[in-house]
Amino acid sequence: MASADERTEAEGLLRFVDASPSPGHAALAAGELLRGAGFELLELTRPWSSPGRHYVIRGGTLLAWSVPAGWQPERGLRLLAAHTDSPNLRLRPRPEASSQGFLQLGVEVYGGALLNSWLDRDLGLSGIVALDGPEGVEERLLRIDRPLLRVPQLASHLSPELKTGGLALNPQTQMVPVWGLGPAGGPGLRELLAAELSVEPGRVLAWELMAHDLTPSTLSGRGREFISAPRLDDLGCSYVCTRAMVDLAGRAQGDEAISVLILVDQEEVGSETSRGAYSELLGGVIERVLLAHGLGRADYLRTLAASACLSADMGHAAHPNYPERSDPGHPVRLNGGPVIKSHAGQHYATGAPGAARFARAADRAGVPVQWLSPRGDLRCGSTIGPILAQQLGVETVDVGMAQLAMHSAREMGGSADPGLLLRALGEWLAS
C-alpha cells in the first residue's frame, strides 16, 4: 500500500502521462515542471553565456542541467537518463486509403508494440506537424483528444482460427484504423490538421503523428495499489527523473556535481537519430555548458572521468500467470522498490561500482531495491544505458520501476514505486 507521499507522486505521474500523448508533449510537460523550479529554456542556435539552471528541447528530447555554485571539474556530472517515446501506431506520409466503404488512415507500427492491445480502442492523434511559415519551416505540436481512429477486431464468428492458433495480426493489412465512411474525395487528413491548427491546408507540409489511447490514467486495484496507464515505458521514469531534478533545485546545493537530466526520443527504434541517445546532441550540450563556465576541452574530459550515469527505464515484474518467464532467483514485484538491472551480455550497462553506488543511495533513503536478471533462455530487452556508457565513457547503472504489460497500449505499474524511486534518486544525485 502506498503512503500518502507515494500516492501524491503516483497521481503526479498520472497527470504527466495524460499530458504527454507524444514525445514532443512529454518534453513540453517536463519543461513546464522544470520551469516552475527556476530552470530557463535556451535555444540551441543561440550563444550560452552563464551557468545555472537551464534546459533545451529538440522535438521529443529534453536536456536540462543545474550547475552548483563553485563547481569544479573533479566533482563531475550526475546524469539521469530516460526516454520519452513508447511503441504505438504512426501515420504514414500519405496515409489516406479506403476499403469496403470505410475511410482509413495507413499506419506503421513504431517499436515493439503489442498489436492486440490496440484493437477496439478509441484513439486520438498527436505529435508534430511541420508548416510552411514566413521564415521557413515551422514546427507545431498537435493534440486531438477525441475518438478519431479505431482498429476494429474481426468478430469471433469470422475467425475460427482463434480457437486453435490464437490471435496473429498482420501489421500491414490488419492494423489499419478506420476514421470515417466514404465516399473518398472530401476533406481529408491535411484539411483536418489545418483546421486543428487554424492554418490554411496548403501550409501543412509534413507530420510525425501517432495514435494515442484516450482512456485516462488511473490508480486501480483493491487498495489503489496499481497504476493503470498508457506509455509507462518510459514516461514513468521520465517523470520521476524530472521530479528528482525539481527537488534538487529546491534544496541548498553545496559540494555537488552538475546534475544533468536526459530525456531522449526514439529509443524504441534504436536511438540512431539526431535526437536519440546515439546523437552528438548530448555530448555537445555538456561541452557547451562547460564552455559557458569558462572551461575547455581538457576540462570536459576530466569532468567525464569523474562522472556517473543512471539510466532509468521500466523493468519486467514477475507475472502471476507466467511465473516461469522470470528467473526464480530474481523475482521482481510491483511496489517492491527500484529495480537494478543486470545482464552479462551488457544489454544493461550496470557494473558493480554503479550498482553499489545506487544501492548505497537507496539504503540512505530507506528504500528497498530489487535485482532484475533475465532468464538465460529468453530474449533480453535493452535501454539507453549501454549507449550512454559507450558515448561518454562514464560509470553507468541501469535501474527502473517494475511493471506488467510492457509495450501494451495500456500498461500496469505499482502506485508506491514512483515515490520510492524518487527518494533513491535524490540520494544518488547527492552521492
pLDDT at 82: 97
Cell numbers describing residue 277: 541517445
The residue among 94 and 159 whose pLDDT is bigger is 94
Round the average pLDDT of the chain to a whole number and report it.
93
Q: What is the mean pLDDT of residues 382-396?
A: 93
Query: pLDDT band for position 402 (50/70/90)?
Result: very high
Q: Helix-strand-coil percent breakdown of the chain, rounded to 5?
A: 30, 30, 40
pLDDT at 252: 57
Three state DSSP letters for 89-148: EEEEEEEEEEECCEEEEEEEEECCCCHHHHCCCCEEEEEEEEEEECCEEEEEEEEEEEEE
Domains in the chain, CATH or no CATH each:
4-86+230-429 (3.40.630.10), 88-213 (2.30.250.10)
The residue among 17 and 291 whose pLDDT is bigger is 17
Measured CA to CA, the distance from residue 91 to residue 96 in angstroms comes to 9
Measured CA to CA, the distance from residue 388 to residue 385 in angstroms comes to 5
For the whole prediction, is pTM greater than 0.85?
Answer: yes
Reply yes or no on whether the pLDDT at 413 is more than 70.
yes
Query: pLDDT band for position 254 (50/70/90)?
Result: low
pLDDT at 421: 98
Measured CA to CA, the distance from residue 354 to residue 271 in angstroms comes to 23
Digit-coded pLDDT (tens) for 61-116:
999 999 988 888 999 999 999 999 999 999 999 999 999 999 999 999 999 999 99
Using CB atoms within 10 A of its CB, is residue 100 exposed (0-12), middle (13-18) or buried (19+)? Answer: exposed
Query: In this predicted structure, which of 79-88, 164-173, 198-207, 220-229 has the lowest mean pLDDT?
Result: 164-173
Q: What is the mean pLDDT of residues 36-60?
A: 92
Query: pLDDT band for position 416 (50/70/90)?
Result: very high
pLDDT at 191: 96
Digit-coded pLDDT (tens) for 312-336:
999 999 999 999 999 898 999 999 9
Q: What is the mean pLDDT of residues 23-28?
A: 98
pLDDT at 156: 86
Query: pLDDT band for position 255 (50/70/90)?
Result: low
Cell numbers describing residue 147: 475518438
Q: What is the mean pLDDT of residues 275-279?
A: 90
What is the Rg, in whole angstroms, of the alpha carbon atoms belonging to the chain?
Answer: 22
Q: What percent of the chain has pLDDT over 70?
A: 99
Q: What percent of the chain has pLDDT over 90?
A: 79
Closest to 356 (Cα-Cα) out of 342, 344, 345, 343: 342
The residue among 157 and 224 whose pLDDT is bigger is 224
Measured CA to CA, the distance from residue 44 to residue 261 in angstroms comes to 16
